[in-house]
Structure 1
Amino acid sequence: MKILAINPGSTSTKIAVYEDGISILVSNIRHSVEELSAFSRIIDQFDFRKSLVMQALKTNHISFQFNAVIGRGGLMKPLQGGVYEVNEKMKHDTLYAMRSHACNLGGLIASDLAAQIPGCRAFIADPGVVDELDDIARITGSPLLPRVSIFHALNHKAVARRYAKENGAVYENLNLIICHLGGGISVAVHRSGKAVDVNNALDGDGPFSPERAGTLPAGQLIDLCYTGKFTSEELKKRISGRAGLAAHLGTTDVPLVIKSIENGDTRAQLVMDAMIYNIAKSIGAASVALYGKIDAILLTGGMAHSDYVISRIKERTSFLAPIVVYPGEDEMEALATSALGALTGEFPIKEYQ
């Protein structure tokens, strides 16, 4: 079984080729600001990115023959986790998605390439809009503003299955709290194979992160909107993009911040420790959803490489459950594993409706 995985990000397009579950190519195609500035909308980058994928395969002498092409799923309507075959309804909803992100190109490119290969199938798996929330977790103090599930579902699910496999268990039988520590931070309650509670890690909920503001004082935010100092788009950037560590310290580079701390920067230490404090509080709050019956707390994402961050999270939360760390994120392997599982019947293939 030969599989091509495609993961479009803000400034790069990652591709990977797996044959019978073994990686034979991993490539990170980076895009300069100048290249991307030629496109007024992300969706207009479709042909540009697709051609680079084809060029990378040719350069690495990979024959254009695959059993499946799987893309990172886009920000379409909410759906259950799992593997979905790309269909016309999905492509339509992705083209007209309310939220713009490079991940919207994943399924579209996968479908286009798969259509050129006889017998090849196009999939997505566990997109960021996976919504398995309990009804009680959706309710806020305002009927106008229900909680929305947008998080690092692909990595959450992959890490959960990895932990289960390593411990001779089944994901669907476990109670887990999983915290993805990246540019955005998501803390999810996984009960019996579903993420039944999670913060909106994209545009405003949960702990602040290197790039996100997290939960903010609502009254002050409303007042800020009416000062006339910022446009709507500028304010959105102050919530996602130029927020968190970026706003406080002018950088999202966690190792650089830690180096500053080691050199005596007390301001950097205060902000970094505040972020960690808020992460730990979110993990503690998540434990309530499981009545304290937690099999494990899993820490993953780029910041999970940092001893500074992990040791301090552990200090505050290790009393809740055993903590297991999975540094980084291997979304390419997660995509390829999902496609292989779909082709072999290990994972059911779901229909997007």
Structure 2
Amino acid sequence: MAKERILAINPGSTSTKIGVYDDDQAIFVTTISHPREELDSFKEIFDQYEYRKRLVLEVMEQNGVDRHTLTAVVARGGLLPPVPAGAFEVNDDMIWQLKYKPQNEHASNLGAPIAKAIADELGIKAYIYDPVTVDEMSEIAKITGLPEMRRKSLIHALNMRAMAHKYAEEIKKPYESLRLIVAHLGGGITLSYHENGKMIDVISDEEGPFSPERTGCLPLFQVLEMATQPGSDFKTLYNKVKRQGGLMAHLGTNNAKEVEEMIAAGDKHAELIYKAMGYNIAKWIGNLATVAKGKVDCIILTGGVAYSKMLTDFIKERIEFIAPVKIMAGENEIEALVKGVLRIRRGQEKVNVFTKVV
């Protein structure tokens, strides 16, 4: 089997993570930081395209990788309309969607265009894999109490599916044969239930537990009251629930390590809030366990905040009665992108085709 050399690109709000792998062995993985003053010089997200592409190529050259040795390029998927899980070859429809009609503006929308430009120059394929809009939810899971509102699948799909596949490899069982609950613990917290190789139900960061930065689910009547106060507007409230909630609202920090230091120094309020976050995570895991009718093979805790043993211990003591708990801390999205493409290149998965939604 011929060796693959894959460039992976993950654009974030203030950085671009890239890596080059020979099969599943990293040649290098690094983060390109983008100073705020440089980003502020661009009016729109897509105006950063040439700037970020140039830096990706420069850093690859600085690390001794000749771009002409690449066999494929893969990027983090942007905010496309709902799509199936897995890989998509980047095409013109996808570029149009991300540029002119994405679900929201985000730096990840630049990943596919940069990947395609580099790949086209070399005559190779460009892919995305498991964007946040992966939607495999069952129809019954999408129904709410209002016909005009449906639940959406907006989750950390890339890392959650990567950890589910990794766990399956570790225990030498097919991913499709397992019933798994995966909780991604990061700045936002999302959860998913995996059955028959699909995430048939999920908990997004707007409807589940509060997190280091986000409020999660809130009492609806109090939300309505707040939203109808004089001076309230969508942007202000969006920032409040998306960036200024959770640990940030209660304790003035979104850093779990700082919260643990506060607790170690005897701060009982910080301890209560941190335990409450764990309590909420455990409760929503229990929620998904009902979808599985209690028949869960494993509960996986992943994401950067899963490095906090204090928090995972809070959670484990409430959920271990459901199923064994596996801690798979971190969010190595570059490795996840590469492994996804390797499955495609080795014929283990099929490539999806994206068609734009006007």
TM-score, normalised to structure 2, is: 0.96
Who is 1:264 aligned against?
A: 266
1:340 partnered with 2:345: no
Aligned pair partner of 1:144 in 122, 141, 148: 148
Deviations 1:130-152 (A, max 9, x none): 00001111011111221000000
1:124 partnered with 2:128: yes
1:326 partnered with 2:328: yes
1:49: how far off? Answer: 1.0
Following the alignment from structure 2 to structure 1, what is the Cα–Cα distance between the partners of residues 105 and 166?
30
Aligned pair partner of 2:214 in 212, 216, 222: 212
- Structure 1 stretch 222-231 or stretch 171-180: which is displaced more? 222-231
Who is 1:14 aligned against?
A: 17
- Structure 1 stretch 147-156 or stretch 33-42: which is displaced more? 33-42
Who is 1:43 aligned against?
A: 46
Who is 1:107 aligned against?
A: 112
Following the alignment from structure 1 to structure 2, what is the Cα–Cα distance between the partners of residues 225 and 94?
30
User: Once superposed, which parts of structure 1, at least 4 consecutive aligned residues long, lie more than 3 Å away?
Assistant: none
Following the alignment from structure 1 to structure 2, what is the Cα–Cα distance between the partners of residues 271 and 102?
32
Who is 1:303 aligned against?
A: 305
Who is 1:194 aligned against?
A: 198
SS in 2 for 1:172: helix
Who is 2:78 aligned against?
A: 74
- Structure 1 stretch 227-236 or stretch 88-97: which is displaced more? 227-236
Alpha-carbon RMSD: 1.1
Following the alignment from structure 2 to structure 1, what is the Cα–Cα distance between the partners of residues 42 and 223?
32
Following the alignment from structure 2 to structure 1, what is the Cα–Cα distance between the partners of residues 240 and 90?
34
SS in 2 for 1:116: helix
Deviations 1:61-101 (A, max 9, x none): 21012111100001111011011101111111111213111
Following the alignment from structure 2 to structure 1, what is the Cα–Cα distance between the partners of residues 168 and 71?
28
TM-score, normalised to structure 1, is: 0.97
Aligned pair partner of 1:55 in 48, 53, 58: 58
The one-letter amino acid of 1:250's match is G
The one-letter amino acid of 2:82's match is P
Who is 1:83 aligned against?
A: 87
Following the alignment from structure 1 to structure 2, what is the Cα–Cα distance between the partners of residues 39 and 269?
42
SS in 2 for 1:198: strand
1:222: how far off? Answer: 1.8
Structure 2, unaligned stretches of length 5 or more?
none
1:21: how far off? Answer: 2.1
Following the alignment from structure 1 to structure 2, what is the Cα–Cα distance between the partners of residues 98 and 331?
21
1:226: how far off? Answer: 1.9
The one-letter amino acid of 2:109's match is N
1:221: how far off? Answer: 1.3
Deviations 1:279-308 (A, max 9, x none): 000001110000000000011001111110
1:115: how far off? Answer: 0.8
1:108: how far off? Answer: 1.4
1:180 partnered with 2:188: no
Following the alignment from structure 1 to structure 2, what is the Cα–Cα distance between the partners of residues 287 and 27?
37
1:162: how far off? Answer: 0.6
The one-letter amino acid of 2:184's match is H
Following the alignment from structure 1 to structure 2, what is the Cα–Cα distance between the partners of residues 208 and 113?
39
The count of residues paired between Structure 1 and Structure 2 equals 350
1:227: how far off? Answer: 1.2
Deviations 1:16-47 (A, max 9, x none): 00012211010101112222222222222111
1:345: how far off? Answer: 1.3
Give the conservation status (yes or no) of the 8 Å contact 2:191–2:204: no
Following the alignment from structure 1 to structure 2, what is the Cα–Cα distance between the partners of residues 21 and 197?
30
1:117: how far off? Answer: 0.4
The one-letter amino acid of 1:144's match is E
1:231: how far off? Answer: 3.1
Give the conservation status (yes or no) of the 8 Å contact 2:17–2:29: yes
Give the conservation status (yes or no) of the 8 Å contact 2:74–2:128: yes
The one-letter amino acid of 1:206's match is G
Deviations 1:183-216 (A, max 9, x none): 1111111111111111122xx2111101111111
Show the 5 A alignment for 1:250-289: 250-289=252-291
Following the alignment from structure 2 to structure 1, what is the Cα–Cα distance between the partners of residues 290 and 106?
33
1:58: how far off? Answer: 1.7
The one-letter amino acid of 2:110's match is L
Structure 1, unaligned stretches of length 5 or more?
none
1:229: how far off? Answer: 3.3
Following the alignment from structure 2 to structure 1, what is the Cα–Cα distance between the partners of residues 61 and 149?
48
The one-letter amino acid of 1:315's match is E
Give % identity: 43
- Structure 1 stretch 180-189 or stretch 213-222: which is displaced more? 213-222
Who is 1:161 aligned against?
A: 165
1:320: how far off? Answer: 0.3
Following the alignment from structure 1 to structure 2, what is the Cα–Cα distance between the partners of residues 34 and 155?
30
The one-letter amino acid of 2:106's match is H
1:339: how far off? Answer: 1.5
